[in-house]
Amino acid sequence: MSCFDPSSTPPAGSKPVLLVAAVALVDADGRVLLAQRPPGKALAGLWEFPGGKVHADETPEAALVRELREELGIDTAASCLAPFTFASHGYESFHLLMPLYVCRVWEGDVAPLEGQTLAWVYPNRMGDYPMPPADVPLVAMLRDLL
């Protein structure tokens, strides 16, 4: 199978690039935390890695430390976020650039502070949790890692 498809390369400047930082939180049993996107949002119902948009004045690591506190009530540090891989995916109105970190160390108990449904999932069961198209290649890489 060939990857060569010139039409898959969009012209420069056609869409804004959105930087979103995401993290695979891995617990002592090797399970990964997924969060279900709530109704009314884009990609509603799909399962995603915790994270969010990186603000203009932030590093991706600082954005994740902030998002984990806001969304899940846990504290971690940039030194506990190991860069793992990234997604680069064209959505209709923007191009998503999403570094994915792995984190095994945090303080506090994970709680769904924004009303989101959470699931701790063994890597070999992640296929049961439909995810956004950008995440699909990341799941296969996580399975190999864990």
Ligand X SMILES: Nc1nc2c([nH]c(=O)n2[C@H]2C[C@H](O)[C@@H](COP(=O)(O)OP(=O)(O)OP(=O)(O)O)O2)c(=O)[nH]1
- Which residue ranges make up the site for ligand X (CB under 6 A)? 20, 22, 41-43, 48-49, 51-53, 96, 132, 134-135
Q: Answer for the pair 68, 35: CB distance below 8 angstroms, yes or no.
A: no
Residue 4 vs 142, nearer CB to ligand X: 142
**Minimum gap (Å) between residue 29 Cβ and ligand X:** 21
Nearest approach, Cβ of residue 77 and ligand X (Å) = 19
Phi, then psi, of 31 in degrees rounded to 5: -90, 155
CA-CA distance, 83 to 146, in Å (whole number)? 15
Q: In the complex with ligand X, which residue's Cβ is closer, 13 or 40?
A: 40
Nearer to ligand X, 53 or 104 (CB): 53
Q: Of 2 and 38, which has the nearer Cβ to ligand X?
A: 38
Given a contact cutoff of 8 angstroms between Cβ atoms, the answer to whether 70 and 81 are in contact is no
Q: Please, which residues have CB within 8 angstroms of residue 139's CB and are 6 or more apart in sequence?
A: 123, 126, 127, 131
- Please state the closest distance from residue 4 (CB atom) to ligand X, in A: 25
